[in-house]
Amino acid sequence: MRSNPSSIVNSDSSLLVLSSGKKPSAHLESLYSAGVQRLEDLLWLLPLRTLPMPKVRPFREAREGELFLGCGKVIHREVKPAYGRRTKGRFLLHNGYVIVKELNGEATLPLRFFNLYPQQKKQIEDWDQVWFLGTMQEWRAQNQIVNPKVHPLLDEAWAQTLGEWLIEYPTVNKVPGSYTAKLFAGLPENFWSDIQSDYGTDELNEMNLARAFRVLHARLSPQEATTEVRKAATERLAYEEFFIDQLKITTRRRFIKKKAGPIIKNDLEALSAFLKLLPFQLTNDQQKSIEQILADMQTGHPMMRMLQGDVGCGKTVVAMLVALMTIHQGKQVALMCPTEALAIQHAKTLADLFGSLPFLKPALLLGSMKKKAKDALSLAMISGETNFVIGTHSLFQESVKFKDLGLAIIDEQHKFGVEQRLQLTAKGAGTHCLIMSATPIPRTLSLAQYGDLDFTTIKAMPAGRKGIKTRLVAKANYPKYIDFIIQRLKMGDQGYFVFPAIEESETMDLQNVTESFKKYQATFPGIKLAMPHGKMKAEEKEATVQAFTEGRIQVLIATSVIEVGINVPNAAFMCVYHPERFGLSSLHQLRGRVGRGDKPGFCFLVLDQELGPEAMSRLEVMEKTIDGFEIAEADLQNRGEGDLFGVDQSGVVTRRRVADFHKHSHILEKVYRDVQQLMREQPGKIDPILLKLARDQKILDTI
């Protein structure tokens, strides 16, 4: 956003200019540290609510759900302690009940106040004739207003000072909305008129950005800013956000494709030697995927490709074959996994299948490893002595260096962000990047977040799979379900019990799982159960998973550590407790852990309370379909993209604020078309913007 030089304030300038030379107030600094750093960021701090301010009206005109402004005389008041509500044990809070009577009429109206501080309680006692402003609510067939704003009537001009709107800004980083409202009120008129999009989007929209911000910050009269106008303004801001996202994606794509990348040839002889080591034939989809990926790796430019396909379709094998090809041609490969358990499993699969290849020198890099071991590995990677590193997030660290990293593979991309992807590929010159994901990506999301990637999809499952049955288990069916599991255990089947991770408290998780462990040990006497968990050392976890893989343990009890990747063909049942606390895509992933071998799989979603109709119909999707795409769409509709992709923008207010993939998908489509058209028809206009974005995102020097 730009403003002309004559502006008093420029939207690009720091928020701290609002302190006009003095030391910035604590509130201003709190906003700043919450990410509201420039005046432009402040603009994106939108009100929670804006309501047209009503005129003073007689009580009988009050309507439920509407903002009402009235005045009257207090004829009754009651103040009682609000029991059980103390603020940090310091004051006792009070509830108040006040009845006001109209000044020139007989009508009365009750006002209710909850959790009053001592100071507020004293004020109530002083009230005689008052103004009051609040939303009318019906309660037991009577109108009342809860927690209205109240002002003594003595001050006759008060109602005039209210302005045309009631505006409520959100509390940000403990800064009250009223403070933000004052900041806005103090902005000079030309601040608003000078707002302009940096990206030339005003020409592409009916409403310009300046007007959209004015509408949403309630700077126009209620007559002008009707509901439709306000909706259009919100959509205008969504457009801007999507547009910036699209430009960033386009930039990445364009500049990555200009870089030089290592050429990895599709050496058919080598490939057939690798294939001989597999105990099975590749499916057609797997073969095609390998061809597609290798074709991309010999263009001389870096590959940025997503390999997607449902859990168990055989992506890992494909990635490993491509990795072997890369290593065989003298380059190094890094495979990054979201959990240690998965890294360990992949390392084992690699050793089992391809351990006999003389040129392969693999190693594991885990966060939990001792410094000495890490240092040794580090040297081996720099010298090239190790040529295939499998690890977790620790691979991102700056200290991790390679001799010649040709290919970075990222398993289950949605747990990692774009920045991390770039960080990893930056470890080599033009490093190819292959991302594996078992979460099918709905079209709108792929436009919005993965527009810079090429896609390879594996659709078919390896032959011989017996399929999975999914059932919701209500409390009444619990004994039957337990009987069934006991039967399967007697037949030698293995399986999982999974509990949701409880946020932010590893100890609570542990407790949860520990208790269940005891309970189930009692329910299934003679059966070997084990419980890998976050507090275990990597070796311990490895040993547990290993014992399960070899069948020495029959049941794994866990929080979602096994969500991604563990692969035990003999596992036949997956029982998820509190399934309502998981996203559908996570449930789908979990379910994909069973029915992988030649036995049919069973997935039980075990409820321990009655759920509302909405939660039930959400879970019923799992019974109805095993199509990952359908499930991803349903998840997107239910919970928004945040859960699907684990975006953790919590607390940061300057990221996407308005645009919603679901609600605004039509706008995203328009943005996509507009950007494509601009690139075709007006390169002179868009190229400088892309170049600037590439510099801002450090794409030019990191890849």
E-strand stretches of 429-538: 432-437, 454-458, 468-473, 494-498, 529-530
Site string for ligand ADP, 122-161 (x = CB under 6 A): ----------------------------------------
Cβ(311)–Cβ(593) under 8 Å?
yes
Q: What angle do CA 526, 495, 643 make, to 5 degrees?
A: 140
Q: Which residue, 309, 629, 249, 252, is CA-closest to 447?
A: 249
Contact of residue 280 among Mg ion, ligand ADP, none (CB under 5-8 Å per partner type): ligand ADP
Region of 291-299, 314-322, 643-651, 682-690 interacting with ligand ADP (CB under 6 A): 314-322
Nearest distance, CB of residue 316 and Mg ion, angstroms: 5
Nearest distance, CB of residue 282 and ligand ADP, angstroms: 5
In the bound state with ligand ADP, the residue whose beta carbon lies nearer, of 422 and 603, is 603
Q: Which residue, 160, 167, 163, is CA-closest to 183?
A: 167
Tokens of 574: 């997956």
Work out whether 313 is an interface residue with ligand ADP (CB under 6 A). Answer: yes
In the bound state with ligand ADP, the residue whose beta carbon lies nearer, of 247 and 307, is 307
Nearest distance, CB of residue 218 and Mg ion, angstroms: 50
E-strand stretches of 592-672: 601-606
Please tell me the distance from the alpha carbon of residue 161 to that of residue 150, in angstroms, as a whole number.
14
Nearest distance, CB of residue 436 and Mg ion, angstroms: 6
Nearest distance, CB of residue 613 and ligand ADP, angstroms: 33
Question: Which one of 286, 292, 437, 494 is in contact with ligand ADP (CB under 6 A)?
Answer: 286
Please tell me the distance from the alpha carbon of residue 417 to that of residue 448, in angstroms, as a whole number.
13
Work out whether 351 is an interface residue with ligand ADP (CB under 6 A). Answer: no
Contact of residue 339 among ligand ADP, Mg ion, none (CB under 5-8 Å per partner type): none
Work out whether 494 is an interface residue with ligand ADP (CB under 6 A). Answer: no
Q: How many other CB atoms are there within 10 angstroms of residue 640's CB atom? A: 15
Work out whether 442 is an interface residue with ligand ADP (CB under 6 A). Answer: no
E-strand stretches of 3-126: 49-52, 67-87, 91-102, 108-116
In the bound state with ligand ADP, the residue whose beta carbon lies nearer, of 217 and 596, is 596
Q: Which residue, 265, 264, 311, 321, is CA-closest to 289?
A: 321
Nearest distance, CB of residue 333 and ligand ADP, angstroms: 16
Nearest distance, CB of residue 456 and Mg ion, angstroms: 15
Work out whether 289 is an interface residue with ligand ADP (CB under 6 A). Answer: no
Work out whether 438 is an interface residue with ligand ADP (CB under 6 A). Answer: yes
Contact of residue 282 among ligand ADP, Mg ion, none (CB under 5-8 Å per partner type): ligand ADP
Region of 159-167, 308-316, 617-625, 653-661 interacting with ligand ADP (CB under 6 A): 308-316
DSSP type of residue 576: E
| Torsion from C-alpha of 209, 213, 218, 222, nearest 10 degrees | 20
Region of 229-237, 311-319, 630-638, 693-701 interacting with ligand ADP (CB under 6 A): 311-319
Nearest distance, CB of residue 459 and ligand ADP, angstroms: 12
E-strand stretches of 117-210: 129-139, 142-146, 149-152, 165-168
Work out whether 311 is an interface residue with ligand ADP (CB under 6 A). Answer: yes
Nearest distance, CB of residue 674 and ligand ADP, angstroms: 36
CA atoms within 13 A on the CB side of 492: 5
Give burial (CB, 10 Å; 0-12/13-18/19+) of 198. Answer: middle
Work out whether 462 is an interface residue with ligand ADP (CB under 6 A). Answer: yes
Q: Which residue, 589, 565, 595, is CA-closest to 644?
A: 589
Cβ(40)–Cβ(11) under 8 Å?
yes
Nearest distance, CB of residue 454 and ligand ADP, angstroms: 18
Contact of residue 312 among ligand ADP, Mg ion, none (CB under 5-8 Å per partner type): ligand ADP
Q: If you write DSSP's letter for every residue of 373-411 in order, what string do you get? A: HHHHHHHHHHHTS--EEEESGGGGSTT---S-EEEEEEE
Q: Which residue, 153, 156, 200, is CA-closest to 690?
A: 200
Q: Pairing mode, if any, of strands 67-87 and 91-102? A: antiparallel
In the bound state with Mg ion, the residue whose beta carbon lies nearer, of 352 and 375, is 352
Contact of residue 425 among ligand ADP, Mg ion, none (CB under 5-8 Å per partner type): none
Q: Pairing mode, if any, of strands 108-116 and 91-102? A: antiparallel
In the bound state with Mg ion, the residue whose beta carbon lies nearer, of 381 and 390, is 390
Q: Which residue, 558, 554, 584, is CA-closest to 571?
A: 554
Site string for ligand ADP, 76-115 (x = CB under 6 A): ----------------------------------------
Work out whether 567 is an interface residue with ligand ADP (CB under 6 A). Answer: yes
Question: Which one of 302, 312, 406, 583 is in contact with ligand ADP (CB under 6 A)?
Answer: 312
| Rg of the chain taking only CA atoms, in angstroms | 31
Nearest distance, CB of residue 334 and ligand ADP, angstroms: 17
In the bound state with Mg ion, the residue whose beta carbon lies nearer, of 316 and 544, is 316
CB burial string 366-396: b at 16+ within 10 A, e below: beebeeeebeebbebbeeeebbbbbbbbbbb
Nearest distance, CB of residue 225 and ligand ADP, angstroms: 51
Cα dist from 51 to 5, 54, 66, whole Å: 34, 9, 9
At residue 522, the 3 state secondary structure works out as helix
How many residues does the structure list for the chain? 703
Region of 209-217, 241-249, 261-269, 313-321 interacting with ligand ADP (CB under 6 A): 313-321
Work out whether 275 is an interface residue with ligand ADP (CB under 6 A). Answer: no
Region of 144-152, 313-321, 541-549, 651-659 interacting with Mg ion (CB under 5 A): 313-321
Work out whether 282 is an interface residue with ligand ADP (CB under 6 A). Answer: yes
Cβ(177)–Cβ(159) under 8 Å?
no
In the bound state with ligand ADP, the residue whose beta carbon lies nearer, of 67 and 584, is 584
Nearest distance, CB of residue 415 and ligand ADP, angstroms: 14
Nearest distance, CB of residue 463 and ligand ADP, angstroms: 7
Nearest distance, CB of residue 564 and Mg ion, angstroms: 7
Interacting positions 580-619 with ligand ADP (CB under 6 A): 596
Please tell me the distance from the alpha carbon of residue 283 to that of residue 285, in angstroms, as a whole number.
5
Work out whether 341 is an interface residue with ligand ADP (CB under 6 A). Answer: no
Work out whether 330 is an interface residue with ligand ADP (CB under 6 A). Answer: no
Q: Which residue, 661, 642, 592, 643, is CA-closest to 622?
A: 592
Question: Which one of 54, 148, 309, 595 is in contact with ligand ADP (CB under 6 A)?
Answer: 309
Please tell me the distance from the alpha carbon of residue 623 to that of residue 469, in angstroms, as a whole number.
8
Contact of residue 250 among Mg ion, ligand ADP, none (CB under 5-8 Å per partner type): none
Q: Which residues contact 507 (CB under 8 A, 6 or more apart)?
A: none
Cβ(92)–Cβ(86) under 8 Å?
yes
Region of 158-166, 280-288, 600-608, 636-644 interacting with ligand ADP (CB under 6 A): 280-288
At residue 623, the 3 state secondary structure works out as helix
Q: How many chain residues touch ligand ADP (CB under 6 A)?
A: 18
Which residues make up the interface to Mg ion (CB under 5 A)?
316
Which residues make up the interface to ligand ADP (CB under 6 A)?
280-283, 286, 309, 311-317, 438, 462, 567, 569, 596
